[in-house]
Amino acid sequence: MALAAVIAISIVIVALLADKSEKRQDGRVSVIATIFPVYDFVRAVGGDRVTVSMLMPPGTEAHSYEPKPSDIGKLNKAGLFVFMGDDMEPWASDLTAGLGPEGPKVLEAGQGVPVLLLESEEHSHGEGSVEGHGDGNGHDPHIWLDFTNASYIVGRIAEVLSDIDPEGTGYYSANAADYVAKLADLDAAFREAVEGSSTRVIVHGGHYAFGYLANRYGLEYVAAQGFSPDSEPGPKQLMQLMEVIKQTGAKYIFYEELVEPKMAKAISEETGIGMLLLHAGHNVSKQQFESGATFLDLMRGNLENLRIGLGYHGK
Ligand SMILES: [Zn+2]
């Protein structure tokens, strides 16, 4: 009986391995990731045991992406499909529902992360920050901007890669541990930057992307728009931000990547305060992508700009 069971199990395992091996390129696990942060985490954890491609072409505005029919074909050729979460890529579950039985393993990397809602009206200074978001459930989709969430996501990616490619388990977990240590260093540096700064307010001329970051370090965060940059902020949002700047004495306004910073520019010209980039990590340009930008580099850039913008004076 026992021997029969072992043989039966072995046959199943061999069948599984055969199935998986078809999804490899040059012996590597073939992965498709939706947006830049998950793409970069897979790259860091998977190293030379995976080939990873980003579903969204660089330079695409992540919130307004609409999957193409050809995406299903791409996915069916992959061994693993990774997306951030249903709040960030609401279309991902529709896409995976269309996959055949031979389709890839699917990982919603951020599943299980405690979801933050949009800050209360009091903190967001009126309805200016809640407009322009499609699904209206109030969930902030930018979970990776809390580095403890990013670490959790990295761990989940290591787990799923180990399931697909058990021989690489030690390799994936070592890479993940190394990456998590870098995220922990960044987290400590952000905390130190905030604690050594004179202001606690981020005034942001872009869409509401930094709720997790603000929550993590005890910052107040005021954004011109809701969760998605597709709505054009109007004069009302401009007046609200100007009022916050007046009240708080903020010396800088932050702007977001990829989108022309009209709001920040208008405010900067009106008030004479400076402009600084705060990168949410989800929209890299083609040029950045091709020159090998990493999530950690982008976040180190944010750290520098936060130090300037919050008036860092050291301990
Ligand atoms: Zn966003």
- Distance (angstroms) between ligand 1 centre and the Cα of 29 equals 29
Per-residue confidence (pLDDT) for residue 1, from 0 to 100: 53
Q: What are phi and psi of 75, to 5 degrees?
A: -65, -40
- Distance (angstroms) between ligand 1 centre and the Cα of 45 equals 24
- Distance (angstroms) between ligand 1 centre and the Cα of 281 equals 9
**How many alpha carbons lie under 13 Å from residue 88 in its C-beta half-sphere?**
30
- Distance (angstroms) between ligand 1 centre and the Cα of 247 equals 27
Instruction: Provide the CATH topology of domain 23-132+140-182.
Output: Rossmann fold (3.40.50)
Q: Where are the domains of the chain?
A: 23-132+140-182, 198-309
- Distance (angstroms) between ligand 1 centre and the Cα of 63 equals 6
Per-residue confidence (pLDDT) for residue 23, from 0 to 100: 72
- Distance (angstroms) between ligand 1 centre and the Cα of 23 equals 31
Q: Which residues contact 3 (CB under 8 A, 6 or more apart)?
A: none
Taking only the tens of pLDDT, the chain with its 315 residues reads 555 555 555 545 544 544 544 477 788 999 999 999 999 999 999 999 999 999 999 999 899 899 998 999 999 999 999 999 999 999 999 999 989 888 999 999 999 999 998 754 334 443 334 333 444 678 999 999 999 999 999 999 999 999 999 999 999 999 999 999 999 999 999 999 999 999 999 999 999 999 999 999 999 999 998 887 766 778 888 999 999 999 999 999 999 998 889 999 999 999 999 999 999 999 899 999 999 999 999 999 999 999 999 999 987
Q: Which residues contact 262 (CB under 8 A, 6 or more apart)?
A: 205
Strands 24-25, 28-33: pairing is antiparallel
pTM of the model: 0.88
Task: Check if the beta carbon of residue 141 is closer than 8 Å to that of residue 65.
Answer: no
The DSSP call for residue 231 is S
- Distance (angstroms) between ligand 1 centre and the Cα of 226 equals 9
CATH number of 198-309: 3.40.50.1980
Whether 198-309 and 23-132+140-182 are alike in CATH topology: the answer is yes
Per-residue confidence (pLDDT) for residue 13, from 0 to 100: 52
